Amino acid sequence: MNASPLDVSSFDEAPVLFVDRSLESRSLVELLRAAGARIESHSAHFAHDSPDVEWLPPVARNGWIVLTLDKHLVSRPLELRAIRISRSGVLIVKADSLPHAQIAAILVAHLSKIQNLRHVERPFVARLYRDGKINFVALPVEEESQE
């Protein structure tokens, strides 16, 4: 009997975490990679000034989870629409007053929780707090245009 090829799609591999420009620093990316995280950074794929509505769809198509410090992302209609339409997964890190080294330590300490977000139905926006608590943000329902 011939053995069938190994089906690698059945493995539950860690998701890619996309570090956006608000959070990106070389030390943070290196610390996350050293902890075993699969990381893609904003600067590796997009211009620094590219609007969120331009990079959110391709990041979502790749299945990557966005890590950001941008707490206003959920209050801007165009970005919210891009998140919904592209079925993005976004984690807002609530530690923007801390140095990147401390933020990296928080992310590393709670890496398994962050990686488990791969099981959450998209689109989603959640907030990660310093203590590791994750709260999901209710996305407002997009109103139908009246023409």
DSSP 45-58: HS-TT--HHHHHHH
91-119 pLDDT per residue, tens: 999 986 899 889 999 999 999 999 999 99
Query: Cα separations (Å) of 106 from 26, 61, 110, 128?
Result: 16, 27, 6, 9
Are 41 and 29 a contacting pair, CB within 8 Å? Answer: yes
Confidence of residue 87 (pLDDT cuts 50, 70, 90): very high
Mean of pLDDT over the chain: 89
Token output for 40: 């893609």
In the predicted model, is pLDDT for residue 76 greater than 80?
yes
CATH topology of domain 13-137: Rossmann fold (3.40.50)
Q: Which residues of 65-100 are buried (b: 16+ CB within 10 A; e: fewer)?
A: bbbbbbeebbeeeebbebbbebebbbbbbbbeeeeb
Token output for 39: 């990381």
Query: What distance in Å separates the CA atoms of residue 87 and residue 121, rounded to the nearest whole number?
Result: 9
Residue 56 is predicted with a pLDDT of: 97
Predicted TM-score of the model (pTM): 0.87
Residue 102 is predicted with a pLDDT of: 94
Query: What distance in Å separates the CA atoms of residue 68 and residue 46, rounded to the nearest whole number?
Result: 15
Please state the domain extents for the chain.
13-137
- By the 10 Å C-beta count (0-12 exposed, 13-18 middle, 19+ buried), 23 is classed as buried
Are 59 and 18 a contacting pair, CB within 8 Å? Answer: yes
In the predicted model, is pLDDT for residue 69 greater than 60?
yes
